[in-house]
Every structure is written in structure tokens, then in C-alpha cells.
Structure 1
Amino acid sequence: METIYTHWKEMLINMIDEKTATYNQELHKKAETDYLKRLLEKMATHAASPETLVTFQEEMNVLVEAIPTVAGFKDKEIRRDFIKKKSKLKNTVITKHKLVNKGYYVSIWMPLGIALGMPWGVVFGNIALGLPIGLAVGLAIGSSLDAKAKKEGRVV
């Protein structure tokens, strides 16, 4: 299975490179081509099961086919279709395969910490005191979860 995936991965990376050869740096960031290539590398070792790997391959094939040209990025419908497919793939990777972006948990836990710190600030009689405490707690939890994910090799 490894050699089949490796061949498919190399073929897809070449397709991404061909489709995005005329992109400037800004379009590469919008299309997240580096993320897609890193994701292809990570999935070889982090697929939950062979069935989910096949599903991932199908979704990735659809996404790579939907990568717009430079002119396609100016068309709202083409761009929106590509972004929807990319978001769906990212959500699948996070939920089924537990692969996350750098800073993923911090971005989730900081607002939660602030939201939890506000009521504590009210309890102590000073909201201004609760916000930084909640921020610090959210940052600490998010940072520890991000460090754990990096240690486990789950950061794309």
C-alpha cells in the first residue's frame, strides 16, 4: 500500500506544481499549496485506516482538479468552489486523522479562556482582572496541546 500511495502522492504533487506554476507568492498563500504538499507527505504515516486513506485520496483528487488558474482566481464562483473543497478537506483531516495546523489549539483555547475569564472577573468584581487570567489560562492550555501535537507528529 505504501508504494501505491507514494506513487499517487508524487503524481499529485507534480499536478499541483504544474497547475500553480504561474502563481505569484500571494496566490500560493491563498491556495495554500505548501499546506497541500505537506498534507500529502503526512498522510502516508497518519492515515487512520486504509478506508479513510482511500477517502482522503478521492477528496484530494477532486481538490487538485479544482485548483483554479490565475484567471480563475478572479472568477468568484470558481474561487468559492475551490475554497469550499479545501475547507472540507481540512475539516476531514482534523476530525478523522487528527492532523492540525501550527497554532490550531491556541486559536481555539484563547477565545475560550477569555470567555471563561469574564465570568470569573465578574465574580471577583473586576472584569479587567478576569480577561487576562482567562487569556493566560487559554494560552497555556492551547500551547500545551499544540506542543503535544507537535511531539506526536500531528502538525502539518
Structure 2
Amino acid sequence: MESTYTVWKKSTIRTIEDKTTSFDETLHKKVETDYLKRLVEKMATHAASPETLIVFQKQMDALVAAIPTSTGFEDKELRRDFLKKKNKIKNTATIKHKLVHKGYYIGIWLAFGMALGISFGVAFGNIALGLSIGLAIGVAIGAWLDSKALKEGRIV
């Protein structure tokens, strides 16, 4: 017997596909349909508790209902409402459930490594050397954290 989440998951994915069938490639990228479908799939195993899963379901239902039509993307208010809801659910997935997109940690640690490298470069009198060392360290740490997230199944 299927759980209620499994039934909801299939229904939600079907609804996302139905609402986005007329979209071209650029609209699919704006809506991030593939990401949303993968997120619905991943939350079954990564929700901290049944209560958080219910909250996620309500947020996702509101997001799916807010997906504008292909002509609706021209309306600034509809687009803004949808993008706010999408960013909120992505932030919730990242912060509360530790679900990240591919390259998430590299992006964060690359910037952090560069900032650290510049400060070391200034301190030692060679900014270029410090920047390159900081960049290499940032990419190495970010790649390691991304591979760790992949092994743990946290990449959406």
C-alpha cells in the first residue's frame, strides 16, 4: 500500500508536468521544473519529522499553484509571487534539510577562499600568490564537501 506522501508526490509531480508542458526551455530554467521534481522526490527521505514533511507539502502545494502560465510570466506580480515562494522553499530545503544543488559548496568556498587568500596575500606582500592559494584551497574544500553531500544523497 502506498503512503499518503507517495500519492501526494506522484500527484504533485504530475501537476508540475501538466502546468509546464507548454513552456519553452528558458521558462523551464526559470521555473526550475527538474529541480522541483527532484526536491519532491528527495524530501521523503530527508524530512526531519512527519510535521516538517507536512509543512513542506503545504509550501510545495502553494508553490505549484503559483506556477504562472507561459503568458503569465509577463505579469510582474505573478512572477514575483512565484519566485518568492520558490526561493523560500529552496532556502528551507537547504537550511533545514541540508539538501543542496550540485556545486553549492564549491560556490561558497570559492568565494571564501579568495577572500582569505587576498588577506594573506596582502599580509605577505604578494596578492597574486595569496589569491591563487586561497582559490585552490576554497575549491578543494568545496569539492570535498560537494562529494560528501553526493555520497550522503543530499544533492537535489
Give the TM-score, by structure 1 length: 0.97
Q: Residues of 2 paired with 1:50 and 1:104: CA distance?
A: 27
Cα deviation, 1:16-42, whole Å, max 9, x if unaligned, reads 111111101111111000000001111
Q: Which SS does the other structure have where 1:136 is aligned?
A: helix
For the 8 Å contact 1:2–1:44, the answer to whether it is kept is: no
Pairs within 5 Å for 1:71-150: 71-150=71-150
How many aligned residue pairs are there?
156
* C-alpha distance in structure 1 between counterparts of 2:69 and 2:154, whole Å: 31
* Residue in structure 1 matched with residue 33 of structure 2 by the alignment: 33
Residue 52 of structure 2 is aligned to residue 52 of structure 1 = yes
Structure-2 separation of matches of 1:81 and 1:2:
33
* CA distance, structure 1, for counterparts of residue 75 and residue 126 of structure 2: 50
The one-character-per-residue Cα deviations of 1:71-102 (angstroms, maximum 9, x if unpaired) are 11111111111011000000000111110000
Within 1, Cα distance between the matches of 2:92 and 2:28?
22
Residues of 1 paired with 2:2 and 2:76: CA distance?
38
SS in 1 for 2:69: coil
Q: Per the alignment, do residues 12 and 71 of structure 1 end up closer, same or farther by CA in structure 2, a change over 3 Å counting?
A: same
Give the C-alpha shift of residue 111 in structure 1.
0.5
Task: Indicate how the Cα distance of structure 1 residues 38 and 44 shifts in structure 2: closer, same or farther if over 3 A, else same.
Answer: same
Query: What are structure 2's unaligned runs of at least 5 residues?
Result: none
Residue identity matched to 1:35: Y
Return 5+ residue gaps in structure 1 as ranges: none
TM-superposed CA distance for 1:2, in Å, is 6.3
Determine the C-alpha separation between the residues in 1 that align with 2:125 and 2:147: 34
In the TM superposition, residue 122 of structure 1 has moved relative to its aligned partner by 1.1
Structure 1 position 112, deviation (Å): 0.5
Q: CA deviation at 1:123?
A: 1.6
Looking at structure 1, the residues matched to 63 and 134 of structure 2 have their Cα atoms a distance apart, in angstroms, of: 39
Matched residues, percent identical?
A: 65
Q: Which amino acid aligns with 1:86?
A: K
Q: Distance in 2 between matches of 1:133 and 1:7?
A: 50
What one-letter code is carried by the residue in structure 1 that aligns with 2:101? Answer: N
TM-score, normalised relative to structure 2: 0.97
Compute the displacement of 1:146 (Å): 0.3
